[in-house]
Amino acid sequence: MNYRHIYHAGNFADVLKHAVLARLIVYMAQKDKAFRVLDTHAGIGLYDLSSEEAQKTGEWVDGIGRILDTDIPAKAKAILEPYLTAVRDLNPDGGLTLYPGSPKLTRMLMRPQDRLSAMELHPDDYETLHRLFDGDFQSRITELDGWLALGAHLPPKEKRGIVLVDPPFEIAGEYERLADGLHKAYRRFSGGTFCLWYPLKQGAPIAEFHAALQALNIPKMLCAELSVRSDRDTTGLSGSGLIIVNPPFTLKGELDILLPFLKDRLKQDRHASARAFWLRGEEVPEED
């Protein structure tokens, strides 16, 4: 309840998360049938990078600020294009003032037949998010603990969808809670694509978290991690990871192109690293 994403909007973790989310939505839209995106920890949806809060930390400068309107190799540029186009569309006069959170980015990439369900527990942030989507019949904004949505809102009536779980990690045990949440949600919606965000920082139980996920015996589980600096001299965020359940068969190859670029462009010291690997499953293309 104390976490406010405005201090971190557009940082390196957002770049990875939102670039991958955009790829998932683009892939889902390749079929005519409608899909739903369930965003369990939605935030306020749209962030003003000129605000006092964003300027106080300036994290976006070393995130989207290093990417937007810069020279990008052709293959990485093609992968980033849906995400970067959305950011540019919010800033039609150029520059970078407004940055889309995951619900706004999702809405910008959806088609008329698709739907968004966004959950936010913080009362002030819920009100801001609700105003942003007021009158939008394709979006349902709910004041709710996002963890509860993994049961109450699954499966979606469309039977196709993406579930983004991006908790604030404010309290102990969130890695375990994330694994447990996936276990419960997957039993309700085994055909869905899940995207789980988690922080990389000093002392984080990443090996144990990965082992807990592997123990779920979910057939296809892809992991992407990006660290921009060493975690030795800081207690803050040094990197972030994504777990993608039921990923598009093209995603692993795209990550193999995207992650080295992001590592090189976003690194803050020589210890930056990036990797994409399968926690469960093999790199065998298959239709969804």
Catalytic residues: 166
**Token reading at 15:** 């770049």
Q: Which two tokens stand for residue 123?
A: 């009362």
Peptide bond into 260 cis (omega under 30): no
Distances (CA, A) of 64 to 14, 35, 73, 167, 176: 8, 28, 16, 21, 30
CA distance 201 to 240: 8
d(CA 207, CA 204): 9
> What is the C-alpha separation between 162 and 278, in angstroms, rounded?
19
DSSP 182-235: HHHHHHH-TTSEEEEEEEEETT--HHHHHHHHHTTT-S-EEEEEEE-S-STT-S
CA–CA separation, 146 and 138 (whole Å): 19
The β-bridge partners of 200 are: 239
